[in-house]
């Protein structure tokens, strides 16, 4: 006979299964919601953004849509307006609108010529001569002083120099700065906009020996810092450029062998790393960066033989013209640590100068390897080769946030200048000296496109005791040093709206910080960032940890239509699981 199950026991089993499913649901629902909202933005406030903001903060793009390394799209090289002088080793820099060529080796002697190139008009125009003639020196434009800095070189007496010469673009006046810590020629140099400092790296010293020094120069204080980490290998005559917080030096003299060596200097970490070697041994190329790519144009392999027609310039083998002058273009992708080749120049250029003016590379004069020095200038534009991609539509990045008791905090706060920062503006950072703590949110982005003027707008109903203040940093944000890497702020709290602008170089990290002004928090604000296209942004997500499913902290209401009380065994099991049974 078939065994019958007691109806009461059967009811208990059904109810037990129901409770088990209920417990599973209590654990599973939070887990599913957490996964649904991932990835969260990075930083200490991960998870605070509203789930509806699919492109907010680090939620800018889904993982599958993150940008890959850009494929270089460089136009062919075109010969543009000739430089006013047949020359080599002209030092070239750019303020983003014009290129400035100064000094150089002309007719067997150092030059004091100074000329400006207008790429729109395709013309060179003379400026006030530099006081000290020179060649083989780097020059750098610093935006925070609107000035050009020329570091050392070989002077009019054919001696390596430690003289710093400074040209103020606004006044048109030359002055001298604090002497370099030592004489250098064929050094590398770069300006880092995030901290307003210039880095002069390696080069040959007064004994014509390659060095490995890394010096930091403060153009505002006119002071040198020689404590930075040395380059791993003695270097002179490298190609040099900066992308974000990293300076790249490629090639060197290497006892007349040239070199494929390639190093990256991380300014923020003060550390050096060896990266993908240059495809050929190279020495004294033109070099520049556009977006996240660096470029080496021309250059050559050194030569130990006699170049009698080079005259007094041949004071050391490192200053002699190379055995072979290159017309090559090598492109380094900093995102993938890989090299590719670009179009050849029309004329070979060794012992050359050059820079990037926006998205346009120029290479200025140099030794052509056949007839001697030239006055030929060539230009190529990134984005000008092949079939250009359509210009992306820049959708503003919208973030909804709030400042609550769970946010991180720091002591002190930024002072209100009442002047919102603008691109190219001159506002400076100052703190109020308040020793109390203020809570904040931080949002991090990486610009993988070209330089951009970014608009940061904050809109909120928070005012009075709930007022907030927005600021921006390049590279990183240090809550213990509020003015480190600062590039701009809103000037005063939004009420209800306030915007400001900052310049974000290609490859640079942008950190936007929203602070409470007092100590009452802010229930809600909207942050809108315009000028960084989604295609030009790399989000930096921090994976959200799966919630641990420890049963407990919940209540279970059990009702029975017949008024029956649940068995003590079920009640006890639920209580043991952490539920309160009512």
Q: What is the pLDDT of residues 491-519, one digit of tens each?
A: 888 888 888 888 888 788 899 999 999 99
Contact 364, 353 (CB under 8 A): yes
Alpha-carbon span 395 to 405, nearest angstrom:
32
Q: What is the pTM of this model?
A: 0.59
- How confident is the model at residue 483, as a pLDDT? 94
pLDDT at res. 496: 82
Structure tokens at 241: 């450029």
What is the rounded distance in angstroms from the CA atom of residue 83 to the CA atom of residue 340?
29
Cα–Cα distance for residue pair 287/363, rounded to 1 Å? 9
- Domains in the chain, CATH or no CATH each: 43-68+393-539 (2.60.120.380), 127-346 (2.120.10.80), 547-581 (no CATH)
Strands (E), 315-467: 324-325, 329-333, 338-341, 353-357, 360-367, 373-381, 397-403, 409-411, 437-447, 452-460
Q: In terms of DSSP bridges, do strands 509-516 and 437-447 run parallel, antiparallel, or are they unpaired?
A: antiparallel
Residue 425 confidence (pLDDT):
64
- Given a cut of 50, the residues of the chain with pLDDT beneath it are 1-5, 7-13, 23, 26-71, 305-313, 386-393, 534-571, 573-582
Q: Count CB neighbours of 570 within 10 A.
A: 15
**Bond into 39 cis (ω within 30):** yes
Strands 262-266 and 293-297: unpaired
Say which DSSP state 92 is in. E
Handedness of CA 569, 573, 576, 580 (dihedral sign): negative
Exposure string for 21-46, b = 16+ CB within 10 A, e = fewer: eebeebeeeeeeeeeebbbbbbbebb
Q: What torsion do the CA atoms of 382, 383, 385, 389 make, to the nearest 10 degrees?
A: 160
Alpha-carbon distance 337 to 287, whole Å?
A: 17
Dihedral, CA of residue 245, residue 249, residue 250 and residue 256, to nearest 10: 180
Digit-coded pLDDT (tens) for 442-481: 998 888 777 778 889 998 999 999 999 999 999 999 999 9
State both tokens at 288. Answer: 């520049």
């Amino acid at each position: 006979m078939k065994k019958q199950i007691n109806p009461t026991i059967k009811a208990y089993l059904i109810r037990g299964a129901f409770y088990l499913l209920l417990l599973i649901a209590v654990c599973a629902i939070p887990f599913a919601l957490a996964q649904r909202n991932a990835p969260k933005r990075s930083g200490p406030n991960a998870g605070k953004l509203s789930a509806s903001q699919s492109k907010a903060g680090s939620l800018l793009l889904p993982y599958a849509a993150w940008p890959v390394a850009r494929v270089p799209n460089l136009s062919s090289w075109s010969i543009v307006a000739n430089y006013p002088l047949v020359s080599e080793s002209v030092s070239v820099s750019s303020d983003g609108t014009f290129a400035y060529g100064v000094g150089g080796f002309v007719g067997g002697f150092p030059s004091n010529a100074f000329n400006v190139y207008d790429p729109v008009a395709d013309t060179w125009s003379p400026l006030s001569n530099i006081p000290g003639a020179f060649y083989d020196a780097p020059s750098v434009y610093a935006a925070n002083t609107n000035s050009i800095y020329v570091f050392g070189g070989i002077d009019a007496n054919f001696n390596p120099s430690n003289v710093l010469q400074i040209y103020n673009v606004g006044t048109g006046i030359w002055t001298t700065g604090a002497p370099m810590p030592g004489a250098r020629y064929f050094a590398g140099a770069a300006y880092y906009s995030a901290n307003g400092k210039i880095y002069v790296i390696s080069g040959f010293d007064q004994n014509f020996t390659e060095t490995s020094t890394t010096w930091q120069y403060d153009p505002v204080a006119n002071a040198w810092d020689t404590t930075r980490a040395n380059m791993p290998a003695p270097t002179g005559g490298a190609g040099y450029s900066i992308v974000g917080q990293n300076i790249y030096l490629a090639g060197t003299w290497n006892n007349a062998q040239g070199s494929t060596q390639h190093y990256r200097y991380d300014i923020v970490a003060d550390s050096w790393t060896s990266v993908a070697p240059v495809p050929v041994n190279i020495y004294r190329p033109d070099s520049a960066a556009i977006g996240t790519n660096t470029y080496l144009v021309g250059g050559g392999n050194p030569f130990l033989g006699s170049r009698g027609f080079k005259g007094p310039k041949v004071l050391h083998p490192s200053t002699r013209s190379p055995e072979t002058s290159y017309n090559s273009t090598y492109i380094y992708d900093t995102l993938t640590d890989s090299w590719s080749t670009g179009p050849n120049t029309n004329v070979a250029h060794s012992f050359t100068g050059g820079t990037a003016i926006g998205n346009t590379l120029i290479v200025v004069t140099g030794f052509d390897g056949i007839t001697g020095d030239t006055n030929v200038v060539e230009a190529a534009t990134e984005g000008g080769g092949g079939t250009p991609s359509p210009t992306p539509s820049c959708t503003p990045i919208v973030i909804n946030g709030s400042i609550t008791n769970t946010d991180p905090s720091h002591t002190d706060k930024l002072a209100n200048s009442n002047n919102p920062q603008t691109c190219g503006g001159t506002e400076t950072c100052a703190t109020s000296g308040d020793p109390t703590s203020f809570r904040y949110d931080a949002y991090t982005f990486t610009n993988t496109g070209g330089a951009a003027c970014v608009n940061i707008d904050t809109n909120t109903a928070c005012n009075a005791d709930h007022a907030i203040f927005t600021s921006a940093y390049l590279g990183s944000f240090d809550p213990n040093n509020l003015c480190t890497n600062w590039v701009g702020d809103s000037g005063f709290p939004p009420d209800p709206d306030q915007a400001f602008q900052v310049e974000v170089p290609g490859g640079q990290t942008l950190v936007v910080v929203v602070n409470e002004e007092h100590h009452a928090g802010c229930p809600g604000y909207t942050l809108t960032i315009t000028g960084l296209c989604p295609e030009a942004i790399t989000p930096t997500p921090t994976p959200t940890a799966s919630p641990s499913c420890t049963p407990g902290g919940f209540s279970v209401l059990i009702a029975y239509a017949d008024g029956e009380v649940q068995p003590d065994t079920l009640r006890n099991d639920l209580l043991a699981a952490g539920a309160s049974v009512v």
